[in-house]
Amino acid sequence: MPSPTTPVQPALLTAEGVVAGYAGEPVCGPVGLGVGPGDRLALIGPNGTGKSTLLKGLTGRQHPVEGEVRFAGAPQDEGSLEWRRRVCVLLDDEYFLPHLTVGEHLEAVALAHGLETPYERALAELERWGVGAKQGSDPQTLSSGQRRRFLLAAAFLRPADLMVLDEPEQRLDAATRCDLAEALAARAAEGVGLIFATHDAAFLARLADRCVILDDVAPPRLATPAEGLELLAVEHS
């Protein structure tokens, strides 16, 4: 098992002394971490401890209050072509292009990333996540769970070296959560780095090889999955 303190391979994403927050006000940190190819790093902690805020700081959705985030050795730049080509980000925000159906959204993703047979690839991914019948629908008309499956289909359709996900198992049934953990583990086995937030102990146990524990009263710290499971057991008791 990889060390709980350092990734096995050179990091894709590193954070040094990162304090995440809103409008200059700190929410959590300072955090130091590195995610390399094939790493599976989980962020865990009670609601309100800053998991989503930290992910936004790591991905450039919000600028950190302090510290530095680097991707592939250079300062993180969400607007750069390399970042958009190599990093898949699925956070708690949802954005849909107007006038495009579910299938057209995924076909656009396939075309943007240069995939062959984009229509067929898009439909296959929708079928994989159980929303193939919705390919002609407006995304806004989908249920909450269907939108989550649609967004997961878009995430898995595109190639990536790093995937950053905020509670990706939310609004999924138990069987689909298992499928998602297996699908992400397969991506990691191919060399894709993963960083994700979760409250789900079973999902954590299936997927994580390291944890960052966020707490209201203690500084963030790196830990093993076993320590993370102990924390979640207390949180849900």
Whether residue 113 is contained in a domain is answered as: no
Confidence of residue 25 (pLDDT cuts 50, 70, 90): confident
pLDDT (tens digit, 9 = 90+) per residue, 119-157? 999 999 999 999 999 999 999 999 999 999 999 999 999
Number of separate domains in the chain:
1
Q: State the pLDDT at residue 105.
A: 95
119: in domain:
no
The reply to whether 102 falls in a domain is no
Those residues with Cβ within 8 angstroms of residue 78's Cβ, 6 or more apart along the chain or in another chain: 59, 60, 61, 84
The CATH number assigned to the domain holding 65 equals 3.40.50.300
Which among 81, 65, 47, 67 has a CA at the least distance from the CA of 166?
47
Say whether pLDDT at 82 is over 50.
yes
**Which of residues 164 and 221 earns the better pLDDT score?**
164
Spatial neighbors of 177 by CB under 8 A, at least 6 apart, are 169, 200, 202, 203
Residue 85, domain member (yes or no): yes
133 occurs within a structural domain: no
Domain extent for 209? 13-91+162-235
| pTM, 2 dp | 0.92
Query: Within a domain: residue 53?
Result: yes
| Selected residue with higher pLDDT from 237 and 175 | 175
- Segment 116-128, tens digit of pLDDT: 999 999 999 999 9
Averaged pLDDT of the chain:
91
Residue 18 placed within a domain: yes
Residue 142 lies in a domain: no
Higher per-residue confidence, 94 vs 83: 83
